[in-house]
Amino acid sequence: MGRELTFRIMRYNPETPEVKPHLQDFKLQEEPGMTLFVVLNKIREEQDSSLRFDFVCRASICGSCGMLVNGRPTLACRTLTKDLPDVTTLLPLPVFKLLGDLSVDTGTWFREMSIRTESWVHDDSEFDPTAEEARMDNELALKIYEGDRCIECGCCIGGCATANIRPDFIGAAGINRVARFMVDPHDKRTDQEYFEVVGSEDGVFGCIGLMACDDNCPVGVPLRGQIAYVRRKMASAGWKMKVKS
């Protein structure tokens, strides 16, 4: 017989603001191999059909199930109950717009961040359909791929001290995005142009460097290295711009 588990879940429906946010306890029996995906679906099917949360892939791919599990941002679909105490608190990720209970709108945040960091390859040269495909060595391709592995779950943002007090901070996910294009030789932006995008207090210089983001990233994007890389490049670009002026 498994343990009796208690899940203390934040409830809030923006459509009924007169009911203030509160915690509600749900109890169920633990089963072998149980994840929070199973727990939340069981609660919704058997105890309260109004409970809101997001899952799509159940396999750490889609990034939709980020939440605070006992205060730590992580993916619910890959969290096993065997690693949790008898009582677990589930809260929605902060920083993002709350849609209800555990469901937040990460999509709008990431779309705005993509526009702000101009997350596309910048190259003004004319397209030549007869040119040979540009080659790239494996090491460099892998470096670019490291940045592309972000699944946009928002865990690095929800647990970031700066993002929690500065809504305009681009966070580790934003800095990682900039790093991805900086290392890509197809992108012809200069360091000075990147400085306009990320060389500010709401960009890389707002980061206080305690690396909660690196600890919390569920897919292991090397955020520590990406932040250090962008910070170094932007500090040097800022210094050169100052000397020139």
Find the shortest distance in angstroms from Cβ 26 to ligand SF4: 27
Residue closer to ligand FES, measured from CB, 56 or 161: 56
Q: Does 38 bind ligand FES (CB under 6 A)?
A: no
Rounded least distance, CB 55 to ligand FES, Å = 4
Distance (Å, whole) CA 9 – CA 218 = 21
Q: Report the C-alpha gap between 245 and 241 in whole angstroms.
A: 6
Nearest-CB residue for ligand FES: 77
User: Look-up: residue for tokens 């589930």?
Assistant: 90
Q: Is 64 in the site for ligand FES (CB under 6 A)?
A: yes
Do β-strands 72-75 and 87-91 pair in parallel, antiparallel, or remain unpaired?
A: unpaired
Partner from ligand FES, ligand SF4, none contacting 207, C-beta within 5 to 8 A by type: ligand SF4
The Cα–Cα gap between 40 and 30 comes to 12
Q: Taking a C-beta distance cutoff of 8 angstroms, is the pair 178, 194 a contact?
A: yes
Question: CB 219 → ligand FES: shortest distance, Å?
Answer: 9
Min dist. Cβ of residue 192 to ligand SF4 (A): 23
Instruction: Give the residue from 166, 176, 169, 158 showing the smallest Cα distance to 65.
Output: 158
Question: From the list ligand SF4, ligand FES, none, which binds 158 (C-beta under 5 to 8 Å, kind-based)?
Answer: none
CA distances (Å), origin 196, targets 200, 202, 241? 8, 11, 11
The reply on whether position 54 binds ligand SF4 by CB under 6 A is no
Q: Minimum distance between the CB of residue 146 and ligand SF4, rounded to whole angstroms?
A: 10
Q: Which one of ligand FES, ligand SF4, none is in contact with 211 (Cβ closer than 5 to 8 A by kind)?
A: ligand SF4
Binding mask 186-225 for ligand SF4 (x = CB under 6 A): ---------------------xxxxxxx--xx-x-x-x--
DSSP state of 131: S
Cα gap 171→180, rounded to integer Å = 14
Binding mask 128-157 for ligand SF4 (x = CB under 6 A): ----------------------xxxxxxx-
The Cα–Cα gap between 157 and 173 comes to: 7
As a whole number of angstroms, the distance between CA 45 and CA 68 comes to 22
Closest of 1, 52, 56, 51 to residue 29, by C-alpha:
1
Name the site residues for ligand SF4 (rule: CB under 6 A): 150-156, 160-162, 171-173, 176, 207-213, 216-217, 219, 221, 223
Binding site for ligand FES (CB under 6 A): 55-58, 60-65, 75, 77
